[in-house]
Amino acid sequence: MSEGRRRSWAEPYKIKVVEPVRVTTREERRTALDEAGWNTFLLKSREVTIDLLTDSGTSAMSDKQWAGMMVGDEAYAGSENFYHLEKAIQDIYGYPFVVPTHQGRAAEHIISRILIKAGDIIPGNMYFTTTRLHQELAGGTFVDVIVDEAHEPANEYPFKGDVDLEKLDRVVSEHGAEKIPYISLATTVNMAGGQPVSLKNLKALHEYCAGKKIPIYLDKTRIAENAYFIQQNEEGYADHSVAEIVREICSHTEGAWMSAKKDALVNIGGYLVTRDEEVFEQARNLVVVYEGLHTYGGLAGRDMEAMAIGMRESVDPDHIRARVEQVRYLGHKIASEGVPIVRPVGGHAVFLDARTFLDHLDQEEFPAQRLAAEIYLEGGVRSMERGIVSAGRDPETGENRRVKLELVRLTIPRRVYTQSHMDVVAETVWEVWDRRREIKGLEMVHEPKYLRFFQARFEPKA
Ligand SMILES: Cc1ncc(COP(=O)(O)O)c(C=O)c1O
């Protein structure tokens, strides 16, 4: 809260350990880009000065989490740390049954195998890359039922993650509720720009789904950030704590998966949770096939301890406020020079609207991919593409999915960078903005079959 002349806020921590970063020359960065096929995922970390590729597994752990690493119980079965993790999940989110996995997509794999049959339809509030792929590999088809506002970068609607219940009802009427094993709901919605779902919408969705006997499964990878937006912007929640709102969100769902590498402030980890004992029984059996025993799921004991502690820290009011406000600070600063960004600024990243930024390029010239590369070339700042490359090809037609949102994501790791890093990032983006008319497109010269954005290679057009 500001008092009198005090308007600024500071990061709610002191820095105890530092990791030096390298500053490179433009020539070095140009060589690095050529070697990386103009894909920022293929750059080496040592070639990057400020790394905003992702907020996944890149957080700084607290002293308490590091202390937790020292009490890892590395027993193959029944590790003490598993029980700490289970208890933390039950306390914070309220789900009774827990299956740990090494990261989020492993939990997506398991839940998709359990719930989806060939020919099923999975409606959700915008696709996520790995989530949709696992749904497709299990024989399902994802259908987007997010509100239209989510596809409009300049639209200021505060809850762009909401489900459009009329769209959903049309899908249910067309295919029948028995073809819909679950609703795939995400808080916040990564691909829409880190946009939250409102509790009003979730309650209405829950009521609708209860009537049709369709369970809601939640991707709660960034649930604390979603809860902060509800507290700040949804009527009736200003006096609720983020922890209370997180618990309430979960109460409207049957189960969830989480990539703990985001909100939960760890470098590795994930899990699946459910209220359905039968699903739990199948999940703890399948996890043995793909991950490891059901009391470690591909993790070391120390990883589970750090996760249990990080989860509690994720709902701390000072932490979550500083986290989301730092992202907002960067977004407003970048936009202050007229650079088009997704509005409102989301919870984990600032998304540049590459379609408008480089409006002289066709989408098949990969404007967002090129823009991410140019930002790296300009200032050693690594970001990533979220547009036509990430969307991949339609499995039936083989055509590129020409998604409406063609974005570059500047993703902020938690507790890692300071405001002055944010200032340098904004200035770097402004430099690219000033020379935007000279920027040409890319040609894709190597295209992997799955999740192509990770490993595709490009060449700049002359
Ligand atoms: C919303 C969302 N769901 C699932 C995942 C997959 O999690 P992981 O990277 O831990 O496998 C991610 C990671 O990027 C994500 O952002």
pLDDT band at 3 (very low <50, low <70, confident <90, very high): low
C-alpha 184 – ligand 1 centre gap (Å): 13
Q: How many CB atoms lie within 10 A of CB 448?
A: 12
Q: Which pTM value belongs to this model?
A: 0.96
Ligand 1 pocket mutation, candidates 187, 262, 299, criterion most atoms within 8 A of CB: 262
- Report the pLDDT averaged over residues 374-392: 98
C-alpha 137 – ligand 1 centre gap (Å): 17
* Strand, coil or helix: 457: strand
Any atom of ligand 1 within 6 Å of the Cβ of 105: yes
C-alpha 53 – ligand 1 centre gap (Å): 13
Any atom of ligand 1 within 6 Å of the Cβ of 298: no
Any atom of ligand 1 within 6 Å of the Cβ of 305: no
Q: How many CB atoms lie within 10 A of CB 71?
A: 12
Q: Is the pLDDT of residue 459 over 90?
A: yes
Cα–Cα distance list, 458 to 29, 38, 254, 452 (Å):
16, 5, 42, 12
Cα–Cα distance list, 393 to 53, 127, 363, 456 (Å):
23, 13, 14, 13
| Ligand 1 atom closest to Cα of residue 189 | 1
Q: Is the pLDDT of residue 1 over 60?
A: no
Catalytic residues, which ones?
A: 76, 128-129, 219, 262, 386, 453
C-alpha 270 – ligand 1 centre gap (Å): 9
| Torsion angles phi and psi, residue 189, rounded to 5 | -95, 105
Q: Per-residue pLDDT tens for 242-259?
A: 999 999 999 999 999 999
Q: Which residues are paired to 101 by β-bridges?
A: 270
| Ligand 1 atom closest to Cα of residue 219 | 3
Q: Per-residue pLDDT tens for 142-192?
A: 999 999 999 999 999 999 999 999 999 999 999 999 999 999 999 999 999
Q: Is the pLDDT of residue 428 over 90?
A: yes
CA angle 263, 10, 229 (to 5 degrees): 40
Any atom of ligand 1 within 6 Å of the Cβ of 190: yes
pLDDT band at 8 (very low <50, low <70, confident <90, very high): confident
| Ligand 1 atom closest to Cα of residue 103 | 10
- Residue 244 and residue 285: Cα distance in Å, rounded? 32
Pairing of strands 381-382, 50-51: parallel
Q: Per-residue pLDDT tens for 192-217?
A: 999 999 999 999 999 999 999 999 99
- Structure tokens that stand for 416 in this block: 């890692």
- Structure tokens that stand for 385 in this block: 């593409």
Question: If you take atom 7 of ligand 1, which residue's CA is the nearest one?
Answer: 104
